[in-house]
C-alpha cells in the first residue's frame, strides 16, 4: 500500500466517489506511479477482469485521479473456525504529487463506511509501511517467515511414503489453475486468518501470466485415491554463476489438507535434483516440517514479519463470532474514533473452554481499555494481550484482567494468511 502521509491534513478538500468506467486506464497509471512499477500485461488483464467499479473509491484533483482504494469481497476464518464476511483491501495509493493533503484519510473514511453498509464486518490488507494504518484501526494480525534449507544435507527423519499412500505428480499450469483453487477452498476454513480467494489471488501460486519467470515455474499436486489433498507451486532459479551452476528452489506457495499430504510434498521438494538450496517465503511461524527433518536446525528462519493487518468494522459482531480458549467474563472498553459506532464497553462472557462468547454492550466500567488497532491485533490470537499490556497498548482497571484476556484470546495455533494481496 502506497502511503499518503501520517500528518492529519484537511480532508474536506478531497471528496471521493466510486471509479467510473472511463477511468480504468487512469487508475492503472495511478497504481504504477504510486508503487513505482507497472503491471505486466497478463496481470493487468486479471485486474481488469476482477475489478468491480463500485468497490474502487477514487480521489480526484480537478477531475484527474490522485488517489484510490479498492476492495474485494471475501470470507475470513476466525478462531473456533467460524467464518465472517470480510473485505480484502487492495490498491491503496496516492500520487507522489498529492501527498500531505489528507487524501488517504478521506479514502479510508469512505471505504470503511462502504464496507459497513455491505455487511462486511472485518477488513484485511497488507501494509507496505507499518506506520500507515494503525490510525485507521488496522492492526497486524497474522505473521509469517522465510525459511532456507540446504538441500544437500536435509532429509525427513522418516520417509513420507511410510505415512502417505498417495503420490505427488507434476501438472501443467492449466491443470494447476483448476486444481489449486479446489484444494484451497477446502483449506481456507481450517485456519484462523485465512481468506476466501478470487481468481486474481492465485497469482502467487501460479505466477504472473505472461511473465518471463513462468519458464522456470513448476506445479505439483498430491493425489490419494481419486482426490487431491495438496499442491505446490515452485520455481527453479539459477544462482551465481548462472551457467550450469548450482540452482535454488523457490517455493512460492504450498497448501495441504492433511499431514500426510504435507509431508509428501516436502519430501518431493527436498528430492528435486540439481538444486542445492530451498527458499520458502510467506510460510507460517509454526512450519511443521521443522519437526519432521532428521536435523531440525536445517530449517533456518532467515526473516519474519507481519502479513495481513485486519480492522474490525463491527466490533460486537466480530467478538461474538469467534470462540475463546478459556471460560471467563471481562468488560472491554474500546476507543475507536475513526469508526465511532464501535466506541464503547463490551461485556464478553464465555461459559466454557473453547466456547463461543456472549457479547453485550454495557455501561459498566471496563476491566481493560484498548483502541481499535490493538483489538484487531489480539482478535485472531496472533498477538498476546500480555505483550501489548507490557507495551502500554492495553490498560487494565481491574487487576488480573490482562492475563485473563491473554488466556481467553489465545489460539491453539498461530493465525495465518497464505494469500498475499
Q: Which among 11, 29, 93 is positioned nearest to 57, based on CA atoms?
A: 93
Instruction: Specify the pLDDT at position 8.
Output: 37
For 224-236, the pLDDT digits (tens) are 999 999 999 999 9
d(CA 238, CA 378): 41
Strands (E), 1-142: 16-18, 56-61, 64-78, 82-94, 122-126, 139-140
Helices 41-50 and 24-35, packing angle to 10 deg: 130
**Contact yes or no for 420/386 (Cβ under 8 A):** no
pLDDT of the residue at 4: 52
| Rounded CA separation 200/350 (Å) | 39
pLDDT at 212: 81
User: How do beta strands 139-140 and 122-126 pair?
Assistant: unpaired
Angstrom distance (rounded) from CA 232 to CA 269: 9
Residue 162: is its pLDDT beyond 90?
A: no
What's the pLDDT tens digit per position in 43-97?
Answer: 999 999 999 999 999 999 999 999 999 999 999 999 999 999 999 999 999 999 9
pLDDT tens, position by position, 212-225: 889 999 999 999 99
pLDDT tens-place string over residues 244-266: 678 999 999 999 999 999 999 99
Q: Which residue in 381, 330, 335, 334 sits closest to 358, CA to CA?
A: 330
Closest CA to 405 of 377, 374, 384: 384
The pLDDT value recorded for residue 7 is 38
Does residue 393 contact residue 363 with C-beta atoms inside 8 Å? no
- Residue 243 pLDDT grade (very low, low, confident, very high; cuts 50, 70, 90): low
Tell me the average pLDDT of the chain. Answer: 94
**Which pLDDT belongs to residue 121?**
98
- 176 or 241: which leads in pLDDT: 176
pLDDT tens-digit profile of 354-376? 999 999 999 999 999 999 999 99
> Sheet holding 328-335: strands in order across?
323-324, 355-362, 344-350, 328-335, 368-371, 395-396
Q: Tell me the C-alpha to C-alpha distance, in Å, between residue 61 and each of 9, 26, 67, 114, 392.
A: 16, 13, 9, 22, 40
State the burial class of residue 332 (Cβ atoms within 10 Å of its Cβ: 0-12, 13-18, 19+).
Answer: buried
Q: Which tops the pLDDT comparison, 244 or 333? A: 333
Instruction: Compute the distance between CA of residue 78 and CA of residue 354 in angstroms, rounded to an integer.
Output: 12
Q: In whole angstroms, give the CA distance from residue 383 to residue 402.
A: 13
Q: Convert the pLDDT of each residue in 199-209 to its tens digit.
A: 999 999 999 98
Q: Which domains does the chain have, with CATH numbers?
A: 16-139 (3.40.630.30), 144-306 (3.40.630.30), 314-409 (3.30.1050.10)
Side-by-side strand order, sheet with 139-140: 16-18, 56-61, 64-78, 82-94, 122-126, 308-312, 139-140
Query: Is pLDDT at 25 greater than 70 in this prediction?
Result: yes
Rounded to 5°, angle at Cα 330 from 361 and 112: 50
pLDDT attached to residue 1: 52
All cell numbers assigned to 35: 508503487
Residues 116-133 pLDDT 10s: 999 999 999 999 999 999
pLDDT exceeding 70 applies to what percent of the chain?
96
**Residue 9 pLDDT:** 38
Q: What is the pTM of this model?
A: 0.94
For residue 315, the model assigns a pLDDT of 98
Amino acid at each position: 500500500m502506497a502511503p499518503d502521509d501520517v500528518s492529519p491534513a484537511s480532508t474536506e478538500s478531497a471528496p471521493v466517489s466510486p471509479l467510473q468506467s472511463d477511468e480504468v486506464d487512469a487508475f492503472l497509471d495511478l497504481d504504477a506511479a504510486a508503487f513505482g512499477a507497472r503491471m505486466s500485461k497478463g496481470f493487468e488483464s486479471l485486474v481488469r477482469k476482477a475489478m468491480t467499479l463500485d468497490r474502487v473509491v477514487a480521489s480526484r484533483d480537478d477531475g484527474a485521479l490522485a488517489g484510490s482504494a479498492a476492495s474485494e469481497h471475501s470470507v475470513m476464518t476466525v478462531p473456533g473456525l467460524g467464518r465472517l464476511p470480510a473485505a480484502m483491501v487492495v490498491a491503496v495509493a496516492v500520487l507522489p504529487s498529492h501527498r500531505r493533503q489528507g487524501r488517504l484519510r478521506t479514502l479510508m473514511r469512505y471505504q470503511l463506511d462502504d464496507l459497513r453498509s455491505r455487511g462486511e464486518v472485518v477488513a484485511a490488507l497488507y501494509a507496505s509501511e507499518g506506520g500507515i494504518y494503525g490510525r485507521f484501526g488496522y492492526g497486524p494480525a497474522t505473521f509469517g517467515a522465510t525459511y532456507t534449507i540446504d538441500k544437500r544435507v536435509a532429509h525427513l527423519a522418516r520417509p513420507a511414503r511410510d505415512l502417505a499412500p498417495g503420490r505427488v505428480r507434476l501438472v501443467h499450469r492449466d491443470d494447476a489453475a483448476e486444481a489449486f483453487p479446489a484444494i484451497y477452498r477446502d483449506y481456507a476454513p481450517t485456519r484462523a486468518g485465512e481468506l476466501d480467494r478470487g481468481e486474481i489471488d492465485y497469482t502467487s501460486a501460479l505466477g504472473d501470466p505472461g511473465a518471463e519467470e513462468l519458464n522456470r515455474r513448476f506445479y505439483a499436486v498430491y493425489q490419494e485415491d481419486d482426490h487431491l489433498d495438496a499442491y505446490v507451486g515452485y520455481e527453479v532459479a539459477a544462482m551465481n554463476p548462472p551457467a550450469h551452476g548450482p540452482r535454488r528452489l523457490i517455493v512460492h506457495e504450498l497448501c495441504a489438507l492433511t499431514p500426510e499430504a504435507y509431508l509428501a510434498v516436502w519430501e518431493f521438494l527436498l528430492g528435486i535434483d540439481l538444486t542445492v538450496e530451498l527458499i520458502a517465503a510467506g510460510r507460517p511461524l509454526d512450519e511443521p516440517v521443522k519437526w519432521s527433518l532428521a536435523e531440525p536446525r536445517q530449517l533456518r528462519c532467515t526473516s519474519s514479519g507481519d502479513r495481513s493487518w485486519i480492522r474490525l468494522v463491527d466490533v460486537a459482531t466480530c467478538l461474538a463470532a469467534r470462540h475463546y480458549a478459556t471460560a471467563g467474563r471481562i468488560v472491554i472498553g474500546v476507543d475507536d474514533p475513526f469508526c465511532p459506532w464501535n466506541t464503547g464497553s463490551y461485556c464478553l462472557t464465555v461459559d466454557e473452554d473453547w466456547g463461543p462468547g456472549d457479547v453485550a454492550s454495557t455501561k459498566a466500567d471496563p476491566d481493560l481499555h484498548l483502541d481499535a488497532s490493538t483489538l484487531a491485533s489480539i482478535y485472531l490470537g496472533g498477538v498476546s494481550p500480555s505483550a501489548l499490556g507490557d507495551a502500554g497498548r492495553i490498560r487494565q482497571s481491574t487487576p488480573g484482567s490482562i492475563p485473563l484476556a491473554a488466556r481467553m484470546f489465545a489460539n491453539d495455533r498461530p493465525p495465518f494468511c497464505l494469500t498475499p494481496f
